[in-house]
């Protein structure tokens, strides 16, 4: 003879857990507004520049490696470039490369000065938006990506990122 326990308490508990998950997973208005603003910012960054795939970078090389992820994945691993995730696809900002598809040396120095980040979109944002520590010819703030020809100024601005406000 097999005894079966009453499934009702278990089902009731499962329903309580499911309800708690749904309630805790429902975002509040401020979180939704924050995420909308973040998506708009990401969209502005995407639209402002050309973003390359690893395969496109591979094709730019004089003697492209057989592995289409190279050399981009190696350069990223070595801290010479950064990438962002765009809908599950890794993309690299074109301003990081010279006309031959090689990383600009300043990018590695900037990434080192920026330090570790949890989200590479924060790096893209830092390069994209005007920075109060990087001034244009008229004295107004310009974006670091527009100032890569002034390495000392841009690297100093990158080092200040964690210590100060960016405008």
Q: For the residues 124-128, what does the mean pLDDT come to? A: 97
* 150: phi then psi, degrees, rounded to nearest 5: -125, 70
> What separation in angstroms does the CA of 164 have from each of 70, 74, 95, 148, 157?
36, 32, 25, 21, 10
Please state the separation of Cα 25 from the chain's center in Å: 25
The stretch 109-126 carries a mean pLDDT of 95
Phi, psi dihedrals of residue 20, rounded to the nearest 5°: -65, -40
Q: How far apart are CA 92 and CA 75, in angstroms?
A: 11
Question: Which pLDDT does position 7 carry in this prediction?
Answer: 58
Count CB neighbours of 129 within 10 A.
18
pLDDT at residue 85 above 70? yes
pLDDT in tens, 37-72: 988 999 999 999 999 999 999 999 999 999 999 999
165 or 12, higher pLDDT? 12
Residue boundaries of the structural domains of the chain: 31-160
Cα 114 to the center of its chain, rounded Å? 13
Contact 121, 39 (CB under 8 A): no
Which of 10-14, 53-57, 98-102 is predicted with the least confidence, judged by mean pLDDT? 10-14
Per-residue pLDDT, 164: 53
């Amino acid at each position: 003879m097999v005894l079966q326990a009453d499934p009702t308490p278990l089902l009731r508990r499962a329903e309580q857990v499911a309800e708690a998950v749904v309630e805790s997973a429902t975002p509040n208005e401020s979180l939704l507004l924050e995420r909308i603003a973040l998506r708009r910012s990401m969209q502005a960054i995407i639209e402002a520049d050309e973003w390359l795939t690893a395969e496109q970078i591979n094709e730019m090389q004089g003697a492209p490696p057989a592995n289409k992820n190279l050399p981009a994945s190696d350069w990223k691993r070595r801290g010479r470039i950064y990438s962002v995730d765009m809908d599950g696809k890794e993309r690299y900002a074109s301003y990081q490369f010279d006309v031959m598809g090689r990383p600009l040396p300043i990018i590695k120095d900037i990434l080192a000065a920026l330090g570790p980040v949890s989200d590479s979109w924060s790096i893209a944002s830092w390069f994209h938006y005007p920075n109060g520590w990087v001034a244009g010819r008229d004295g107004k703030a310009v974006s670091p990506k527009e100032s890569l020809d002034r390495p000392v100024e841009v690297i100093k601005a990158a080092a200040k990122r964690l210590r100060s406000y960016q405008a």
